[in-house]
């Protein structure tokens, strides 16, 4: 079996570092995609938690703007009233669900029928199937929003990707979504924009089929918050993060308790080892 000598091993490591640095710098210099910045979220970090008011605003943005194209097939109306969620009451959820029409059936005569939504239903989809969704959007399929915040990611470039590897940076997807919603602008003069596409600073290749969804005061927040594009983008991104990871608060609380338990256990084991082996001559 071929074995690397110490010199060859060091050379391989050095070559890999130079390779990563070269392509990271080249990609940044090319300017094809603007680097996504790390955003300040309430749910980031060890003690992170969701902001109920922000999640309710994000749900409003999704319902009034995004739900006309994007589904949330894995989220139930009842989830809106669960612990760690937007904080709606059970009665409020019943009202929210009843405002949507669900196609149900078949009935006793074998026919489908319409009925008001119930908390036990999943969020109503804007399209009956994928073919209808593509036909309504020029051939492009609007992705489901249920787990999109965890499915998307971004590479922040060297040296941040190396730092993220060891710090457990888990907000890449939601950072990308927030940046994307704020990234629409007019293309540079020398940029060739294909027909039916829209320029976005953060989308790979800078051309995206989805038009700008958010504009100033696209919604009127019930709590009086000014509905700027940045505010709406932040709120709906946070809501999508909750949809993708609704048990985040419970997980972090449990993780902290486990960390404390392991720390105490490690101390007890070390103390026990010292007591046992102290009577034995070395």
Is residue 117 within 8 Å of 77, Cβ to Cβ?
yes
**pLDDT score, position 161:** 58
Query: pTM for this structure?
Result: 0.81
Positive/negative CA dihedral, 54, 56, 58, 61: negative
**pLDDT score, position 172:** 87
**pLDDT score, position 27:** 41
Is residue 221 within 8 Å of 227, Cβ to Cβ?
yes
Each residue's pLDDT tens digit in the chain (282 positions)? 445 455 555 555 555 555 444 444 444 444 466 888 889 999 998 889 999 999 999 999 999 999 999 999 999 999 999 999 999 999 999 999 999 999 999 988 999 999 999 999 999 999 999 999 999 998 889 999 999 999 887 666 666 555 565 555 678 899 999 999 999 999 999 999 998 899 999 998 999 999 999 999 899 998 999 999 999 999 999 999 999 999 999 998 998 899 999 999 999 999 998 888 877 776
The span from the CA of 148 to the CA of 173, in Å, is: 7
**pLDDT score, position 134:** 92
Q: Among candidates 162, 192, 164, 194, which has minimal Cα distance to 176?
A: 164
**pLDDT score, position 8:** 57
Structure tokens at 172: 């890449």
Positive/negative CA dihedral, 241, 243, 248, 249: positive
**pLDDT score, position 23:** 45
**pLDDT score, position 233:** 98
Is residue 144 within 8 Å of 71, Cβ to Cβ?
yes
**pLDDT score, position 91:** 97
Is residue 47 within 8 Å of 255, Cβ to Cβ?
no
**pLDDT score, position 256:** 86
The span from the CA of 172 to the CA of 203, in Å, is: 14
């Amino acid at each position: 079996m071929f074995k690397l000598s110490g010199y060859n091993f060091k050379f391989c490591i050095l070559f890999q570092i130079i390779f990563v640095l070269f392509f990271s710098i080249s990609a940044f210099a090319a300017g094809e995609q603007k680097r996504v910045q790390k955003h300040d979220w309430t749910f980031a970090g060890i003690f992170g938690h969701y902001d109920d008011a922000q999640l309710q605003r994000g749900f409003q943005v999704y319902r009034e703007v995004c739900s006309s194209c994007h589904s949330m097939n894995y989220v139930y109306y009842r989830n809106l009233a669960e612990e760690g969620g937007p904080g709606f009451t059970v009665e409020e959820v019943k009202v929210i669900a009843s405002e949507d029409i669900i196609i149900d059936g078949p009935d006793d005569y074998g026919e489908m029928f319409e009925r008001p939504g119930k908390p036990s239903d999943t969020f109503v989809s804007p399209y009956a199937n994928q073919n209808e969704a593509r036909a309504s959007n020029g051939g492009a399929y609007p992705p489901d929003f249920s787990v999109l915040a965890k499915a998307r990611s971004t590479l922040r470039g060297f040296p941040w990707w190396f730092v993220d590897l060891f710090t457990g940076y888990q907000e890449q997807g939601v950072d990308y979504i927030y940046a994307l919603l704020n990234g629409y602008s007019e293309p540079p003069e020398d940029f060739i924009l294909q027909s039916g596409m829209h320029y976005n600073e953060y989308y790979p290749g800078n051309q995206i089929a989805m038009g700008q969804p958010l504009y100033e005061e696209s919604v009127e927040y019930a709590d009086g918050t000014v509905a700027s594009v940045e505010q709406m983008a932040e709120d709906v991104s946070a809501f999508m993060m909750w949809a993708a990871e609704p048990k985040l608060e419970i997980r972090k609380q449990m993780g902290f308790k486990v960390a404390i338990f392991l720390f105490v256990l490690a101390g007890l084991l070390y103390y026990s080892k010292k007591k046992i082996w102290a009577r034995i001559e070395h």
